[in-house]
Amino acid sequence: MKGLADKSPPGVGENNDTSHPADGVHQPSEQKPGDNAPIGAEQLDWLVAMINHVPDFIYAKDLQGRFLFANEAVVRNNGLSDIKELIGLTDFDVHGEAAIIARISEIEKQVMESGQPDLGYEERAMRGGADRWLMISRVPLRDRSGNIIGVVGVSRDISVKKRAERFMQVQARILEMTVSAVAIPEFVDQLTRLLEGLAAGVHCVAMVTGETSDDIVISAPSLQPLASNLRDGSEPLSAARLEATLEALAPDSKAIFAMEIPSADGEGHGVLGFVVDEEASDDRGLREFLTAAAGMAGIAIDRRIADERIRYLAEHDTLTGLANRAFLERKLERILEQAAAHSQRVAVGFLDLDQFKPVNDTLGHAAGDKLLQQIAGRIALLLRDGELAGRMGGDEFILVLQADDGDFCSRLDEIRRRISEPVELGGIFLEVTCSIGVACFPRHGRSVTELFAAADAAMYDAKAKGRNSVSIYSDQMSRGRASGEDGQA
């Protein structure tokens, strides 16, 4: 557009009338023989016609920011019917405060004062909604002598590009969370916030089932008043049910739809629901991406559940659900460090079932497994906050208990008594007893190894006394298997 003010067509002269839309378009000095191209005013008309057929917004302004020229795209975009309505106006005249917020005058002034172009600047459009973006390039407008007399701008609608970028960013974030150790409640919350950020007017609700039907993770960042009405476990989660609920809670919404969050086992993890305002209600591409996002969410939750299961199996005994020995030892090391720092006592107990072998021999290993599961359940119920229990293997269990209470000895006997209550297996009541050996930190040992050895010696002392008893370690006991062990459990 350099040279836009080089020539004044008919009707534009020294009175600075700038109403002609082709004002100052430079014309070639000569025409080659044989060329059929029009010349003069006719060529200007061609140039104006070409500019008006360009979908980009093309305009020129004077030093005061008043429009000198604009193509038809600019005229239509501003709700006008003729270029004459725009000539002489500023952006503030057309857009009001939005022009100040967008810093249009400030940026154009910088271009004119510096003489340097401002290329590829991206900003939200002042018309067309919050999701409409423009890429704007501005260059100085110079006269024939090279003096800057204004600014020329070209704006291109890049809303589709920006939306694609948002989609890619959300997709990348979901994939990032898929491979990271994000807990399911946090993942669901971040997912809904990401999806709501895809477009203005999109409100998201996620309902993901937990381990039980009553354990439902719900996230509705911009629909909190509605979320409190969604926690009803009387019926299974479904897209149809969520749609019906949202329609009842938000009857004035332009569009409401929901979709399942698929799972690898085919049962589904839950549902995603959307309440959409008018602006985004007809965006087919958006809906397609939301459907794809539900699929990605299903994969992420599958991965998280699998990771949690693997970690659980690495830390727990598969039969009883108690901690396994390796995990309990690691936890106990941290417990002992904390106890040493706060001068606290910790008790380690070895609990062994008496005469467990005959149960396996007479009723079978399946019955023995059920017996161990019931005993483990009783142990778990007897623990206090901060205490720990694990299975060593076979019929032997480990207890990590608080030992600062004055009634510690009576509590140990209460644990023995509760564990020794009859167990019902298939209509048969079994009399079960146990022997418990206890060692205390720091008196009987300061490390896991020392405490385990002392508790083991105390447990065999309890068996040697006739079983069904509790024995606390003393220095007279051998750290290891008692010398009088008869080989019977």
Q: Where are the beta strands (DSSP E) in 98-233?
A: 118-124, 133-142, 148-157, 202-209, 216-219
Burial 314-344 (b: 16+ CB within 10 A, else e): eebbeebebbbeebbeebbeebbeebeeeee
- The reply to whether omega before 185 is within 30° of 0 (cis) is no
Q: What would the mean pLDDT of 436-463 be, rounded to a whole number?
A: 95
Residue 28 has pLDDT above 90, yes or no: no
Give Cα 158 distance to the centre of its chain.
Answer: 27
275 within 8 A of 252, measured Cβ to Cβ: no
pLDDT (tens digit, 9 = 90+) per residue, 199-232?
Answer: 888 899 999 987 655 678 889 898 876 666 666 6
Q: What would the mean pLDDT of 142-159 be, rounded to a whole number?
A: 93
Contacts of 101 (CB under 8 A, 6+ apart): none
Q: What would the mean pLDDT of 87-98 be, rounded to a whole number?
A: 90
Please state the domain extents for the chain: 41-157, 162-315, 323-472
313 vs 20, residue with greater confidence = 313
Q: Please tell me the distance from the alpha carbon of residue 117 to that of residue 263, in angstroms, as a whole number.
A: 53
Q: Confidence class of residue 248 from pLDDT cuts 50, 70 and 90?
A: confident
pLDDT (tens digit, 9 = 90+) per residue, 285-294?
Answer: 888 999 999 9
The reply to whether 323-472 shares the fold of 162-315 is no
Q: Please tell me the distance from the alpha carbon of residue 272 to that of residue 472, in angstroms, as a whole number.
A: 57
If you average pLDDT over every residue of the chain, what do you get? 85
Tokens of 419: 């564990």
| pLDDT of res. 228 | 65
Q: Confidence class of residue 112 from pLDDT cuts 50, 70 and 90?
A: very high
CATH of domain 323-472: 3.30.70.270
CATH of domain 41-157: 3.30.450.20
| pLDDT of res. 479 | 59
Q: What would the mean pLDDT of 237-256 be, rounded to a whole number?
A: 83
Tokens of 162: 């920006």
Residue from 244, 169, 260, 168 nearest 208 by CA: 260
| pLDDT of res. 459 | 95
Residue 13 has pLDDT above 70, yes or no: no
| pLDDT of res. 102 | 85
254 within 8 A of 221, measured Cβ to Cβ: no
Q: Please give, one letter per residue, the 3-state secondary structure of 293-336.
A: HHHHHHHHHHHHHHHHHHHHHHHECCCCCCEEHHHHHHHHHHHH
Tokens of 149: 């007399």
Q: Please tell me the distance from the alpha carbon of residue 366 to that of residue 357, in angstroms, as a whole number.
A: 13
Flag the least confident range among 87-101, 241-255, 399-413. 241-255
Q: What would the mean pLDDT of 420-445 be, rounded to a whole number?
A: 92
460 within 8 A of 487, measured Cβ to Cβ: no
> What percentage of the chain reaches a pLDDT higher than 70?
85
Q: Please tell me the distance from the alpha carbon of residue 80 to that of residue 76, in angstroms, as a whole number.
A: 6
Is residue 439 helix, strand or coil? strand
| pLDDT of res. 20 | 39
**Within 10 Å of residue 37's Cβ, how many Cβ atoms?**
10
Q: Please tell me the distance from the alpha carbon of residue 396 to that of residue 435, in angstroms, as a whole number.
A: 10
Q: What would the mean pLDDT of 404-422 be, rounded to a whole number?
A: 89
Residue 242 has pLDDT above 60, yes or no: yes
| pLDDT of res. 483 | 42
- Amino acid 234 reads S
Q: Confidence class of residue 235 from pLDDT cuts 50, 70 and 90?
A: low
> What's the CATH architecture for 162-315?
2-Layer Sandwich (3.30)
226 vs 251, residue with greater confidence = 251
